[in-house]
Structure 1
Amino acid sequence: MAKSGNTGNVFDLGELRRLVDELGSGSREARAAVLDATSPDDKDCDCAGCGTEVLSFPPVVLSADDELAAAVLRVPLVLDAQRLAAWTGTREVTPEGLLPDPFLPCAELGVPNPARLHLLWVVAVNTGMVRISRGVATAGPLALSAELPSAALLGFWDGVVMDVLDRADDSLTGSSVVDDHLAEMLATMYAVSDGLSPATLVKGILQSHEVACEARPAEMRALAVALPGELQGALSLLGYCGLIELSGAGWPRLTPLGMWAVRQDLLREGHDAPTGAEVAVFADLGAAELVEAIMKRSAAPSAVTVWLESRSPEAAARELVKIAASGTAGQRGTVGTILEELGPEAEVPLREALSEPAMWRYAASWLHIRDLPAPALTPADSTWIAVDTLASLIHLGNAPEVMCEFDMLEPGEDLVRVVEEMTSVDHPDTIAVLDLLGAHHSDAAVGKAARKAAMKARSR
């Protein structure tokens, strides 16, 4: 999400595994989204297109648009912004477009402090409740009412929330630490829709702050004392803004309007945040249709979860292995990603795949990772998998990712050795992979070795 001073995540993976019991009745998808999907894999990659961390969130069920639109008109922040706009009438403002005496409207409208008044003023001006022209504020073009179409009210609400999140850069909640991690906190609450205990939120923010800000022990001790109280104040303000409510267990969670708004922000950031209806259509697809949809990027990662849950692990693995055994490198790469989601329950079809020439290395690796008996892989087998992995990305049209994947295979000068060994493996896409590396790899030595290896492979 945008508007956060910290680019990390609220929760560190190891810490969340220790806190997982506090997630209560959260679904398997919710737990997976918090524990796994928020772990960055490419934070050190400089390749074009590889610098943005894309997260996959569990499917959510949103309230109907008309219900959400009606709720917008009941948000305390919105009601107060309307009152402020009406109170303003026609009034001169400062050169910065602000009210000259913020204490006057605070006293007359019962607004607790100038900071809250400023938030209301920003919302009123940015959404069109108030218009400023030539140093004078007057009534704006927006007149909120239940007669407005649902789409118009939700568009207004989206703008309100963006204004609220913008204020996190300038003391929204009164806690600089909460402001720094606000976007991640809201995204995590979106992933665990049943709510998170305040203790879990405090522990997550503390750990994220310690890692992201390299805080010293003395600072962390002071923050550990102050943060619980600061978080309560922040949650209260977010409740006033219409984003947070308490669950039946008394834990903070996003309101229906909060779920809708946070999803909008996640989508703007390019994350996978589908609704349940959007992914339900994938449950009945065959394996070939699912793989094709993923390769064409018409299926979000969340669709895989829905598809796997609609059949047994053994049945799912058998369908997938059949596609990969006779398919292209792109299909094998896609299938391999899906198979990573399956546990030992899928052992039988993966063990059967050991007899498939194009799949046995992947099957052996899958079994090894799960501590199940499997044939040992030789260095040549590892090189074949490296070629197939890079070829799969070429098939998927992800050439920049090929460079990233290749850089992760071996450190430094060993890349040249890997390139030279590629000519010794029997893979139909070896030359295509070498040509790409030779033409585009940033390391001159690697590029030269790839071009030389491609010539050698062609001569054979």
Structure 2
Amino acid sequence: MSAERPILPPVRLHSEAELARDALAAPLFVRAVKLARWAGPDARVGAGGELVEAQLPAAAQHLGLTDDGDGAAYASEAWRLAVDTGLLDVTDPENEDGEGTVTVGENLALLTSGSPQDVLSIWLDGLDAVHADATAPVLDDFADLVGEDGSIDFDALDWDPEAEAEFLDGVLGNLYLLTLADHGAGEGPVPLPALAASMIVPDDMGEPTDDILEQVSEAMMRLDDQFRLLEPIGIVAYQPVDESLMAEEGDPAEAAVTEADEDDVTRYGMVRLTPLGLYGIRARMLEAGVDAPAVGDLADKGAEALLDGIASYPEAAARAEIQLWLAAHGAAGAVPAATELLAAARGTDEGAPLRRLHCQQALALAGEEAEPAVRAVLGDQELGGLARVWLAEHGASDVPAPPEAMVFWLAIDTIAAQLDADGELDELQGLVEGLSAQHSGFFDEVWRVDHPATADVLEAMGRLHSDKKAAKAARKAAFKARSRAGGEGA
């Protein structure tokens, strides 16, 4: 009965203010800002906007780095980020020596005077730039690619930029999913071999072949380089591959994939998405058209959007979303919010039972102030049973007894909602057996219930009930319900 659900669970993001602070503290971003404030009218840049080599030692020294090759490389990387994020503006070279000029970019001031959204927007541009660097080809010997006429033979690179970007995005997407696994309990670091294998080893493969292991090994080494580049922008916390493994005999990937010792597997690299990384990867997925929900997305929507939207949410995320919705819609009082929720819960479509289940959960969070709205639907066939349950749970002593037809209708609706929610089998079986045991001759009467899901629910009860006699009665009742529905439709 379950409708198709979004693949990605909702993410609980830190506030934009917290994320903006994290962005401003990212090491590479910090260095880019420092260089943007350091650069003056005497800064000389090449045709590509890069700081000329002669000025790299001074830039490295300003950053507190050594003025050797490594310091110069870090300074060059930070300079490129400052240019790519609009912290610096570079004009094309006009003089004979091919050098351009540089001025402070408008975005530099936004880092102090702008909103958290401004900061995060600039940081996202930086993430895109670093992502592009991470998927760039590795040039072992650049001279071999330069022809006699000085042109670069790109075909000799054996590099597909779209495939490289797609692979890294796939890895980051898998890391995102693993981080959200078990309702957010999967926040620990993930072994690098597991990430590489998730992209290469087929799901139905038992023992990986030598060819597959070789591909995993190559992917691990490539990802090791890429995560070293991505960590300074703040999206991951990364423990690199132990370089001593390269000197050991055997294939690192084969050892890692088959490694049973959890202490040793950390030597093959461990990576974890940071809260800023969750934000950044989700932003990239949204830009690519991927449905990546976040808790709070529905807070400003109507009640129907809320109840439909949380249908696929884990319990904790659904509860948090409801609380945010109530906070946003309860300013005028609990009664209007509860009235809107109850109106949205009506319906005979396939998703209606689950909407009513989530409506009941939302009303529980709305508190006793919602009572007038709940009492107003006591006579409603679809909501009257729900209302009586809510009033009884809140200690009301004057709850009118429900008509027998409403009791049976509520039983069908409740089981239909739980089937649609894909709950635990043991819990569902207990619900089925508990509801059917409350009424003698339950299956003799329930097939007459005028509910769109009656036949489907009875068939499910026939599969789930542990008592063979009751299960048979449920299947017989399902047949009667289908025959009745067919006769009415004829």
TM-score, normalised with respect to structure 2? 0.49
- CA 1:163–1:367: 2 relative to 1, 3 Å: farther
Give ranges in structure 1 of 5+ residues lacking alignment. 1-36, 43-52, 385-421, 429-459
1:281, CA displacement in angstroms?
A: 4.6
- CA 1:332–1:223: 2 relative to 1, 3 Å: same
1:127, CA displacement in angstroms?
A: 2.1
The 5 A counterparts of 1:63-82 are 64-82=15-33
The aligned counterpart of 1:223 is 215
1:323, CA displacement in angstroms?
A: 9.5
Tell me, yes or no, if the aligned pair for 1:56 and 1:271 is still in contact at 8 Å.
Answer: yes
1:224, CA displacement in angstroms?
A: 3.8
The aligned counterpart of 1:346 is 428
> What is the number of residues matched between the two proteins?
327
1:274, CA displacement in angstroms?
A: 1.6
The aligned counterpart of 2:106 is 141
Residue 360 (str. 1) matches residue 454 (str. 2): yes
- CA 1:187–1:154: 2 relative to 1, 3 Å: same
The aligned counterpart of 2:136 is 170
1:57, CA displacement in angstroms?
A: 1.6
- CA 1:60–1:261: 2 relative to 1, 3 Å: same
CA RMSD of aligned residues (A): 5.8
Amino acid at match of 1:256: P
The aligned counterpart of 1:425 is 486
The aligned counterpart of 2:171 is 182
CA–CA distance in 1 between the matches of 2:347 and 2:54? 58
The aligned counterpart of 1:131 is 89
User: Equivalent residue of 2:237, what SS?
Assistant: strand
The 5 A counterparts of 1:264-343 are 264-268=283-287, 269-275=290-296, 277-281=320-324, 291=345, 307=361, 335=417, 338-343=420-425
Residue 253 (str. 1) matches residue 272 (str. 2): yes
Amino acid at match of 2:12: V
User: Equivalent residue of 2:108, what SS?
Assistant: coil
Amino acid at match of 2:486: V
The aligned counterpart of 2:401 is none
User: Equivalent residue of 1:245, what SS?
Assistant: strand
The aligned counterpart of 1:262 is 281
1:293, CA displacement in angstroms?
A: 11
Tell me, yes or no, if the aligned pair for 1:344 and 1:370 is still in contact at 8 Å.
Answer: no
The aligned counterpart of 1:156 is 122
Tell me, yes or no, if the aligned pair for 2:51 and 2:76 is still in contact at 8 Å.
Answer: no
CA–CA distance in 2 between the matches of 1:240 and 1:294? 53
The aligned counterpart of 1:202 is 193
Give ranges in structure 2 of 5+ residues lacking alignment. 94-99, 141-162, 240-262, 297-316, 327-333, 366-384, 391-404, 437-442
The aligned counterpart of 2:9 is 57
1:241, CA displacement in angstroms?
A: 1.4
CA–CA distance in 2 between the matches of 1:263 and 1:293? 33
TM-score, normalised with respect to structure 1? 0.51
Greater RCO between the two (CA within 8 Å, min separation 6)? 1
Q: Greater shift after overlay, 66-75 or 112-121?
A: 112-121
Tell me, yes or no, if the aligned pair for 1:76 and 1:242 is still in contact at 8 Å.
Answer: yes
CA–CA distance in 2 between the matches of 1:292 and 1:119? 58
1:243, CA displacement in angstroms?
A: 1.0
Amino acid at match of 1:143: L
1:191, CA displacement in angstroms?
A: 0.9
CA–CA distance in 2 between the matches of 1:108 and 1:196? 37
CA–CA distance in 1 between the matches of 2:210 and 2:416? 48
CA–CA distance in 2 between the matches of 1:142 and 1:205? 37
1:103, CA displacement in angstroms?
A: 9.1
Report which of the two structures shows the higher radius of gyration computed on alpha carbons: 2
- CA 1:147–1:279: 2 relative to 1, 3 Å: same
CA–CA distance in 1 between the matches of 2:348 and 2:222? 43
User: Equivalent residue of 1:161, what SS?
Assistant: helix
Amino acid at match of 2:235: L
Tell me, yes or no, if the aligned pair for 2:134 and 2:230 is still in contact at 8 Å.
Answer: no
Tell me, yes or no, if the aligned pair for 2:418 and 2:428 is still in contact at 8 Å.
Answer: no
CA–CA distance in 2 between the matches of 1:205 and 1:306? 43
Amino acid at match of 2:275: P
Q: Greater shift after overlay, 235-244 or 270-279?
A: 270-279
